[in-house]
Structure formats: structure tokens, C-alpha cells
Structure 1
Amino acid sequence: MTVVTCPTCAKKVEWIEANKFRPFCSERCKQIDLGAWAEEKYTIPGAAPSDPLLDDDNLPQ
């Protein structure tokens, strides 16, 4: 049997079909995570996208 850690509260959770909230331990933890996504609390670090209209390669010579 596979055991995972709940991403919200770190409780150990069995990865079984009976657990309809997997990988979360409960509906509450699932909703907390969804709320964090909705509030844009999760981000992927990276450089800001450049504006192709302002790139030096696109300026008239």
C-alpha cells in the first residue's frame, strides 16, 4: 500500500480508492489548497516575460 503526505497538513494518508480526497487527508485540506491556488499563493519562479514589441531586434534600423 502506498502512503503519501497530505500537502496541506503533512498527515500520512493511504493512497487507496476509498480515500476520495487523495492526496489530501480530508475535504478541509483539499479546500485550503484550492483556496491557496485561487489566491495565487503558489508561483513558479522565473524571469518576467519580455514584450516582443520592445525588443531591440524588432526596432526599425
Structure 2
Amino acid sequence: MRPSIFSLKIHRPQTYQSCLKIADFWIIIISLNENICILTNIHEILLLHLENLISSSKLNKVAFFY
């Protein structure tokens, strides 16, 4: 099952559990247990890796920010 993609406003940034800086837009990934990982400045070559990360980590929601 593919993750749902939707826009999301940041209300409580203090809830972020982990933050990974990869490289032009913000991506917030919310896992089933509500841990949040931020990836920023994703390049096209990393999109496949991102998709693998999502599927392997059982993440259910992804939000994109420009």
C-alpha cells in the first residue's frame, strides 16, 4: 500500500523525533507511531531511495512543502 500524500501545517515542531538534512523543498514523513522525520532539499536521484525508505519503515503519511 502506497503512502498518502497531503499537505500539512506545522503546529508543534518540538514533536520532531529525528531530522535528516539531505539536500529544495521540505518533506515531512509521519510514521504509524507518530515519529516525525524531516528530509529537506530532495533531488530526483534520491526519490527512489525515499520511496524505499517509506515502504521499509511502514510510514503512512508524507507531506511536501515548497
Q: Which has the higher strand share?
A: 2
Q: Highest Rg: 1 or 2?
A: 1
Q: What TM-score does the superposition give when structure 1 sets the normalisation length?
A: 0.31
Q: What TM-score does the superposition give when structure 2 sets the normalisation length?
A: 0.30
